[in-house]
Structure 1
Amino acid sequence: MSAYTEPLSYRSTDYWRNGRRLYELEAGFTFYSELAQRSITVPVGFLTDLGSIPAFARWWLSSDDFWAQAYVLHDRLYHTREMDRATADLILWEALGLPYRVYDEDGVMRRETCPALARSAIYQAVRIGGGPAYQRGG
């Protein structure tokens, strides 16, 4: 079953790439992909912009939504190019479909998944516009 071994933990940096602030992982994590039948590790210190959400879509999607861990995983796959782009994008689809822990203001945890319409829009966006990022390695 697809799953993360650790929650996402990151901090803001003073670094920017392509007009987007970069964040540094404070703890690494591993994702087991059923699709790829293997584990993928994102190391501590990895720099990411979380989600590369175009400006016109930021009213609806945020780079730090509760499923941002899927964005970081996808950034890592594009950075390492350890698999072809289509597979990396399918792993993003897979990761967006997992339930994430979300805490309310009282600290009560519930599980949420990326809404189906958002999941589909994110996946289609990386399929349409992700080629240049994959070619340059993230």
Structure 2
Amino acid sequence: MMRITKRMLLRWSVGVAAVLVSDLESMTRGRLSRTSDAQEPAQPLQNMSIETWMNEWMSVSKAPGGMLRISRFREPIYFLTAPISWTPHPGQERYAAVTVPKGFVTDFASIPRPFWSALRPDGEYAYAAVVHDYLYWTQTRSREEADDILKMAMEDFDVGTLTVGAIYNAVRLGGKGAWNGNTKKKGQGEQRILKRFPQDPRMTWEDWKQRPGVFDQ
């Protein structure tokens, strides 16, 4: 059996990201030809950071189970200001519905980093990514089920088949580190459901989470 090294995994991730960018650019061209008011992204997709992606996306979100409303800390770490949900469709009954509560803090760490700069800032991936991050944090279901729900949530937004497959395969291969990292953080007492939200835009997540009474027990 071939042993997969970190170098091989990195090369694979970059290759998959390149395929994803190509697929997304094709989707963009198709949308531009069909929609008169569509606009090009403000900068090339491959140069877009997760912070820029979220900043551009936050005003144009759409959602099947509640509008995705997000605020952020000074660093690019975000929290829900309203709950969202994912509900299975006919044929998906073996998966229970997911409700992500108001106050959940997400850093999108459950999505492999190469995809942060490749995803379009139009809400198609962000909604599914938050649901996925929540399942990776709570770990009340298996990692496999969390990844399956990510895939189905992306399909709810009619994300291209190649893109869905690329992201799904990436989290199946590379998501264990994020899963284990969350297990460790929870064991150390970290919490992710806020009861109180910061009002100062200069507030950092590292400072806020140290304050008493900010978490929903």
TM-score relative to the length of structure 1: 0.72
What aligned pairs does 1:1-80 form with structure 2 within 5 A after superposition?
4-15=64-75, 21-34=76-89, 35=92, 36-50=94-108, 52-55=111-114, 57-58=115-116, 60-62=118-120, 64-67=121-124, 68-80=126-138
SS in 2 for 1:83: coil
Is the alpha carbon distance of 1:118 and 1:130 closer, same or farther for their aligned partners in structure 2, counting shifts above 3 Å?
same
Identity %: 33
Letter paired with 1:118: T
- The gaps in structure 1 that reach 5 residues or longer are 16-20, 100-112
Is the alpha carbon distance of 1:61 and 1:79 closer, same or farther for their aligned partners in structure 2, counting shifts above 3 Å?
same
Question: Aligned-residue CA RMSD in angstroms?
Answer: 2.3
- Structure 1 residue aligned with 2:182: 137
SS in 2 for 1:4: coil
- Structure 1 residue aligned with 2:166: 121
Is the alpha carbon distance of 1:59 and 1:85 closer, same or farther for their aligned partners in structure 2, counting shifts above 3 Å?
closer
More strand by share: 1
Taking the aligned partners of 1:74 and 1:22, their CA distance within structure 2 comes to: 15
More helix by share: 2
- Structure 2 residue aligned with 1:107: none
User: Which structure carries more relative contact order (alpha carbon 8 Å, separation 6+)?
Assistant: 2
TM-score relative to the length of structure 2: 0.48
- Give the count of matched residue pairs: 116
Q: Which aligned runs of 4 or more in structure 1 are off by greater than 4 angstroms?
A: none
- The gaps in structure 2 that reach 5 residues or longer are 1-62, 184-217
